Structure 1
Amino acid sequence: MTDLPLLGAALPVAALETYQDFILSEDRDLELQDFVNADLLNDGWQAVADHARTLLQGYKGRLGIHGPFWGLNIANPDADLRAVITGKYLMGLQVCEHLGATQMVIHSPYTTWDFNNLDNFADREAYDRVLENCHKTLEPVVRRAEQIGVTMVVENIEDKDPDIRRILADSFGSAAMAVSVDTGHAHYAHGSTGAPPVDYFIRRAGDRLHHVHLQDADGHADRHWSIGEGNIGWHGVFRALGELTVTPRLILELRDKAGILPSVARLNQMGLAR
């Protein structure tokens, strides 16, 4: 069953020491998680990145990072705060360049409140304002990403509308912007806010989908459980993935890293991935 999709993982560099053989043996996709930490970006990220490079000697897989996001809403309307946010994302790209990473995960600005209220204004005024703020924040970042060959993938967080991030990414007209789907976030939105199910999020992203966070959940909260602990319909998710003409990175993003190998085994037993 070697034609099954190959699973990767999201790991801090400290855990990469444990899962080094798992990643390197088949050059699995890898997402390094350390660089979400603003304090680390401000001071000390080079040492962490250099340790990762040492552990990844000979690695030929697709490497990415999770970019900074805590408190960094890319649609922030305040020009002073936008300047700080832009700077943090440029720092994330500096990490990518240092590592040779080709992808950086960023977070969607859209909330449940947005879904219920953006149409509460005439002529799509509120939609346009969000896009305008995102462009003011990210245009320098997108230009830099283009220069160094990094694609930023916009991950759903509270998104109830499965199309809205694709519209945001497409509005930049750049190969440096694409879409991510987090299965647990989509399942939370489905169970708690009435969003479509997870496989619909995959289909609606279509070939703009370059990255997937795989985690199981119960539809109530952002669980990041191992595969099989929640109630996501995995056959439907992988059926939708199989319809794509692109090959997104399939990243197991689990709270308990000990669940990575059992999750791979579970999806393999289901005949879905390896």
Structure 2
Amino acid sequence: MTDLPILGAAMTLKDVEINRNWLLEMPRDLELQDFVPAEVLAGDWQSVVDEARRLLDGHRGRLGMHGPFMGLNVASADPDIRAVVAKRMDQALDVAAALDVTQIVIHSPYSTWMHNNLDNWPEQRQRVFELTHQTLDAAVKRAEDQGCVFVLENIEDKDPADRRKLIESFNSPALALSIDTGHAAYAFGSTGAPPVDYYVLDAAEQLQHVHLQDADGYADRHWPVGHGNLNWRAIFGRLANISSNPRLIIEIRDKSLIQASAAHLAALGLAQ
């Protein structure tokens, strides 16, 4: 990145209504979060798509969505669960095709427990790869065909290299990395993971999406930027060294403070 990056945000459509002027003032990326629940993906998602098209008339940024994750594990050992996960990914791709979404956020399979046990059984690391491929291979191939990219977000990941190696095993432009700054801060503060900017360093050119939220290293706070203890200068310093142009998405609990979060980073001279 040479110029200051333009910030985007994660919102539901009702949040778009209160932040619409900010969203449209420049080409800000948007991540819609209306399509996470299974009830939506398995129900009348077309009406949500229609409303999104109405509200987003004039939007010039890149459009993404958060994919399904609640109760799902992309590396489940149970074949029936893998089938459900694959079905939800296919439904998410249906929505993406209907709304011209080009990026879908999904969750990493790695947990803190797994980190400490990956080498406790023979070939356990490879087993995670195999199960994830069984779950996602078809979805990743379809995403490739329709010009969409899945980005795999860290949740409990203690070693960022594990997730990077997993997406590299797909060797596909339709699967890349996402970093959630608050999740990485939790892993650093509570499980002994490296600091947040090291996650960016490891991801490098595989990084295509970042959730920006502030936290304290204890829990998944989703506080407004500036309300926690994250080192934003270090994080954006690492981002400045990569050229993959990741979407920088403010993802906070109180959507009325999205613009204040953006203003905080702008005041630091890090983004606009």
Name the TM-score, length of structure 1 as normaliser. Answer: 0.97
Cα deviation digits, residues 83-124 of structure 1 (max 9, x gap): 1110001101111111101000000000000110001123xx
Aligned residue among 206, 212, 215 for 2:213: 215
Secondary structure, counterpart of 1:195 in structure 2: coil
Secondary structure, counterpart of 1:120 in structure 2: coil
State the shift of 1:57 in Å: 1.4
**Which one-letter code corresponds to 2:152 in the other structure?**
V
- Give the equivalent residue in structure 2 for 1:199: 197
Q: Is the 8 A contact 2:6 2:27 kept in 1?
A: no
Secondary structure, counterpart of 1:158 in structure 2: coil
Q: Is residue 2:176 matched to residue 1:178?
A: yes
More deviation, 164-173/199-208: 164-173
Secondary structure, counterpart of 1:83 in structure 2: helix
- Give the equivalent residue in structure 1 for 2:228: 230
- Give the equivalent residue in structure 1 for 2:259: 261
- Give the equivalent residue in structure 2 for 1:72: 72
Identity among equivalent positions (%) equals 55
Cα distance in 1 between the residues matched to 2:106 and 2:181? 15
Q: Is the 8 A contact 2:18 2:256 kept in 1?
A: no
The residue correspondences of 1:19-98 to structure 2 (distance < 5 A) are 19-98=19-98
Runs of 4+ with >2 A deviation: none
Q: Is residue 2:155 matched to residue 1:160?
A: no
Q: Is the 8 A contact 2:33 2:65 kept in 1?
A: yes
Cα deviation digits, residues 206-258 of structure 1 (max 9, x gap): 00000000000000000000011100000000000001022100000000001
Cα distance in 2 between the residues matched to 1:59 and 1:42? 27
The residue correspondences of 1:243-262 to structure 2 (distance < 5 A) are 243-262=241-260
Cα distance in 2 between the residues matched to 1:166 and 1:99? 28
State the shift of 1:60 in Å: 2.5
**Which one-letter code corresponds to 2:156 in the other structure?**
E
Cα distance in 2 between the residues matched to 1:3 and 1:77? 45
Aligned residue among 140, 143, 146 for 2:144: 146
The residue correspondences of 1:107-122 to structure 2 (distance < 5 A) are 107-122=107-122
Cα distance in 2 between the residues matched to 1:161 and 1:3? 30
Cα distance in 1 between the residues matched to 2:50 and 2:137? 29
Cα distance in 2 between the residues matched to 1:79 and 1:38? 19
Cα distance in 2 between the residues matched to 1:241 and 1:208? 12
Q: Is the 8 A contact 2:49 2:98 kept in 1?
A: yes
- Give the equivalent residue in structure 2 for 1:190: 188
Name the TM-score, length of structure 2 as normaliser. Answer: 0.98
Cα distance in 2 between the residues matched to 1:45 and 1:186? 32
Secondary structure, counterpart of 1:119 in structure 2: coil
Provide structure 2 residue ranges, at least 5 long, that are not aligned to the other structure. none
**Which one-letter code corresponds to 1:201 in the other structure?**
Y
Cα distance in 1 between the residues matched to 2:262 and 2:57? 24
Cα deviation digits, residues 135-171 of structure 1 (max 9, x gap): 0000110111011100000000000001111111111
State the aligned residue count.
271
Cα distance in 1 between the residues matched to 2:82 and 2:22? 39
Secondary structure, counterpart of 2:4 in structure 1: coil
Cα deviation digits, residues 177-229 of structure 1 (max 9, x gap): 00000000000000000000000000100000000000000000000000111
Cα distance in 2 between the residues matched to 1:46 and 1:18? 22
The alignment yields a C-alpha RMSD, in angstroms, of 1.0
State the shift of 1:58 in Å: 2.7
**Which one-letter code corresponds to 2:85 in the other structure?**
I
**Which one-letter code corresponds to 1:198 in the other structure?**
V
